Amino acid sequence: MGAGGKRGFHKLPLMTACGGAAQEKVYKFATDAAYSPMEFMDKDQIVGFSPEFLALVMQEAGLKYELVNTGWDPMLEFVKQGTEYDAGISSISITDERKETYDYTVPYFESVNMIMSKKGSGLTTAESLKDKKVAVQNGTTADIIMSEVMGKDNPNLRRFETNTLAFMEMENGGVDAVVADIAVIGEYLKQNPDKDYEGHIDPNFPTEFYGILLPKGSELKAKLDPAIKKVVASEAYKELYRKWIGEEPNVDNILKAQEQG
């Protein structure tokens, strides 16, 4: 199903108030559904951890919503404008740089970047990649980290629209490594056991937390934050995490991050 040429259009029906005199607001969320297992396309449906988490949060908040697959860069622009879309949910790390342009909800997911390289290559740290060819998704924290290590304009740092394209580049021998979120690389390695690849976390990589991205001054933050806190502390969150990530979440770390704002 699609709308306006966009894949994965998921729409909840408009609800009307007494006698149909007024329509309840339907909040529009943008995503980049190319980030398995967090958010990705299954035929014409957006599936994964993020859409199921959002459903729990919006149910808890008592709000109606739509989730649309826009792609990464359009999502960032749409949310910044705050006209057509009210928020973005797409494994978006909370960074000080982004906070200059956007507001965030409280954190709901803990992550860290991982290096994927050929087994036995010795490419296990960011420093070891300094003179190698590396693929990242454009505009992600992996891009930011590797830009600092390799130099922002280094031609050996290859930026792609999606991690899927970054993985394809490595499969084709165009790069020596891919740097991306641990959940994404973990899922790729699980789905491709025949590949001679392995994943490593550089101990110097910072822990990251995902939040829902909002336009500056959004009234939605006050509605979502309490609901997110309740969902993250629930057994439903643990079940969702086990389903898509395959292990137990460290909920305490997320709750501490929420307290810190």
Q: Residue 260 — very low, low, confident or very high, per pLDDT cuts 50/70/90?
A: confident
Are 60 and 231 in contact, with CB atoms under 8 Å apart? yes
In which element (H, E) is residue 245 found?
helix 235-245
144 three-state secondary structure? helix
Distance CA(118)–CA(66), nearest Å, equals 40
CA separation for the pair 62, 129 (Å, rounded) = 47
Domains annotated on the chain, with CATH: 2-110+209-259 (3.40.190.10), 113-200 (3.40.190.10)
Summarised one tens digit per residue, pLDDT across range 108-166 is 999 999 999 999 999 999 999 999 999 999 989 999 999 999 999 999 999 999 999 99
Count of alpha carbons within 13 Å of 190, Cβ hemisphere only? 11
Residue with tokens 């643990």: 238
Beta carbons of 116 and 180 less than 8 angstroms apart: yes
pLDDT (tens digit, 9 = 90+) per residue, 66-101?
999 999 999 999 999 999 999 999 999 999 999 999
For range 46-61, the mean pLDDT: 98
Unique residue bearing structure tokens 């709000």:
63
Q: Which two tokens stand for residue 258?
A: 């929420």
All residues at 6 or more sequence positions from 259 whose CB lies less than 8 Å from its CB, including other chains: none
